[in-house]
Structure 1
Amino acid sequence: MTDASTQVATVDPGRTARRLRRGAPAVGQWLSWSTPFVATVAIVAIVQLLVVTDVVDERVFPRPTSIGVQLYEQVQRGAFWESVLRTLEGWALGLGLAVALAVPCGIAIGSSTWAYRSTRFVVDFVRPIPSIALLPLFILLFGIGMPLKTYLVALGCFFPLFFQTMYGVQSVDPIARDTAHAYRLGPVMRFCFVLLPGATPMIATGLRISASIALLLAVGTEMVVGVPGLGFDIYRAQYSGQRPTAFALIAASGILGVLMAIGFNRLERFTLRWHPSQRREQAP
């Protein structure tokens, strides 16, 4: 009798601990999704209350319910999805061009200490210049159309991605570099097994940042120049006095940005499962 009770007492705590460990990730995942949702609903409810009570003039900012109704009506129209696809086309082409140029340049300059020091002043001088400031020149060169939007997006995304790549190569563990030299690895082997894996996390961060910048520039170019897309639809709705529709399209752009951020974040976690930072984030 005593042995049985002692045995039960020694087994039950272990089972309880295992159940708690299995339940902890589920609870944490539920909280990570529910907390932003609850906070968003609370903010929308507060804004709705401020507009209804005339604290905020409805002529300046429409009711969130009116914006939601307009957004629901927009997503049922084919013209809305055509504008979304045109915006995404400029986003994808510009971001792809920036990746094709910025990543190789960042790796090449970051791999050489002499090149890194020689070009740092020029890069720091050019980096603060906003790409939208070159809009008149780009209009003369490329006209008003998809090439204009593509090259403006590419220019705006180039420097964040370039700097992240260059700093990523520069921050590779010196011990790993010395080990590669000690084993007399060739340039190709050092690049494939030392430089690229060491710089990949920062490149992924630069890509995630550049994706958001690309969307901002694509929509902004459409608004300023009149290139077809979500930005042009926002400008047209504002100009015609349809404020709920304009804010609904702005909300659609924001939702598109959130979906992009979630997608790139998940892609980063999937492709960098081997990296210690990702393993720490996924640990229960």
Structure 2
Amino acid sequence: MTVSRVVRGAVGVAVLLVVAEIAGRTGLMDTQIMPLASTVLAGAAGLAVDSEFLHDASVTVEVWAEGLLLAILLAVPAGVLLGSLPKVEIGLRPLIEFFRPIPSIALIPLVTLIMASGGAVKVTIVVYAACWPVLVNTMYGLHDVDPVARDTMRVFGFGRLAVLLRVALPSAAPFVLTGVRLAASVGLVVAVSAELLSGGEGGIGVYIIKAGSGYRIDLMLAATVWAGLIGLVVNALLVRAERGLFRWHAARAGVAQ
């Protein structure tokens, strides 16, 4: 099932590229505004050996990874706490629902005033954006714990902490990893967006700005392709880890493997 899904996805992308190439070569699309698909792909291949772009890509990945790690370290304990204490969650839920929809990019001016380092600003913005999927999924995972298993542990004399460690957290783990996977995608988008808006000494977003200032639309799109590929690879690895570690959860949810 997975192989056929990948094949169908690859065919869909190939068809889109062919259509875009034909549209450009037949004049249906202005190649001054939107370069040929083959030109963009050639540019993306060239960036793979471009030391300047590789440095910029490494800067983006570093900001993204640091922000995602900090978000996990903050959001998972907070989600466990809120998911385990319903009264605390009820009290804080209005604040969560108020802050969660705020676009992280809108906070760049405020964070810039507080922090002098451009790198710290970007990491903070990524942390803010990535925290919410992890937090919400962790809370949801704690709510989804099998009440029979939980009550059985309590009947045998296990305390709240033992039930949390032996039943609640293992049951919530697949939800936490799903939150991490969503946060990884959001974090990468926010990292590149922050670079586009706030600039800095490096990053894929900074490279796109430089390419745009030189009217190199092909390189702008080629860099964007690489940003998408990085996100695609990260998501694929996390999906694979999720299915490998939590096959029992997939079977319970009725997901075909």
TM-score, length-scaled by structure 1: 0.86
Rounded Cα–Cα distance in structure 1 between residues aligned with 2:139 and 2:89: 8
Written as runs of structure 1 = structure 2, the 5 A alignment for 1:220-239 is: 220-227=193-200, 228-239=202-213
**Equivalent residues of 1:269, 1:278 under 8 A apart:** no
Per-residue CA distance 1:38-82 (angstroms, 9 max, x = gap): 111111001111111222211221100110111111111112211
Per-residue CA distance 1:85-144 (angstroms, 9 max, x = gap): 111100010000000000000000110111121111111111111111111111111124
Cα 1:144–1:59 shift into 2, 3 Å: farther
**Equivalent residues of 1:220, 1:231 under 8 A apart:** yes
Rounded Cα–Cα distance in structure 2 between residues aligned with 1:277 and 1:239: 51
Question: Greater relative contact order (Cα 8 A, min sep 6): structure 1 or 2?
Answer: 2
SS across alignment from 1:147: helix
Rounded Cα–Cα distance in structure 1 between residues aligned with 2:157 and 2:47: 61
SS across alignment from 1:59: coil
Moved more, 152-161 or 168-177: 168-177
Aligned residues: 256
Rounded Cα–Cα distance in structure 1 between residues aligned with 2:252 and 2:59: 34
**Equivalent residues of 1:212, 1:261 under 8 A apart:** yes
Rounded Cα–Cα distance in structure 1 between residues aligned with 2:103 and 2:251: 32
Q: Which residue number in structure 2 is paired with residue 152 of structure 1?
A: 125
Q: Which residue number in structure 1 is paired with residue 25 of structure 2?
A: 52
2:172 to 191, 195, 199: 199
Letter in 1 for 2:131: F
Cα 1:225–1:175 shift into 2, 3 Å: same
SS across alignment from 2:148: helix
Q: Which residue number in structure 2 is paired with residue 73 of structure 1?
A: 46
Task: Kindly state the Cα deviation for residue 196 of structure 1 after the two structures are TM-superposed.
Answer: 0.3
Letter in 1 for 2:189: L
Letter in 1 for 2:29: V
| 2:225 counterpart of 1:251 | yes
Q: Which residue number in structure 2 is paired with residue 24 of structure 1?
A: none
Written as runs of structure 1 = structure 2, the 5 A alignment for 1:98-137 is: 98-137=71-110
1:270 to 208, 223, 244: 244
**Equivalent residues of 1:273, 1:279 under 8 A apart:** no
Mark the runs of 5 or more structure 1 residues left unpaired by the alignment: 1-27
TM-score, length-scaled by structure 2: 0.94
Rounded Cα–Cα distance in structure 1 between residues aligned with 2:253 and 2:90: 34
Task: Give aligned-pair identity as a percent.
Answer: 30
Rounded Cα–Cα distance in structure 1 between residues aligned with 2:11 and 2:96: 43
Q: Which residue number in structure 2 is paired with residue 16 of structure 1?
A: none
Q: Which residue number in structure 1 is paired with residue 35 of structure 2?
A: 62
**Equivalent residues of 2:145, 2:172 under 8 A apart:** yes
Q: Which residue number in structure 2 is paired with residue 41 of structure 1?
A: 14
Task: Kindly state the Cα deviation for residue 29 of structure 1 after the two structures are TM-superposed.
Answer: 4.7
SS across alignment from 1:60: coil
Rounded Cα–Cα distance in structure 2 between residues aligned with 1:278 and 1:177: 18
Q: Which residue number in structure 2 is paired with residue 161 of structure 1?
A: 134
Kindly report the root-mean-square deviation, in angstroms, between the aligned alpha carbons of the 2 structures: 1.6
Per-residue CA distance 1:159-201 (angstroms, 9 max, x = gap): 1111111111112122122112211212332112111012111
Q: Which residue number in structure 2 is paired with residue 17 of structure 1?
A: none
Letter in 2 for 1:263: L
Higher-Rg structure is 1
| 2:91 counterpart of 1:87 | no
Q: Which residue number in structure 1 is paired with residue 162 of structure 2?
A: 189
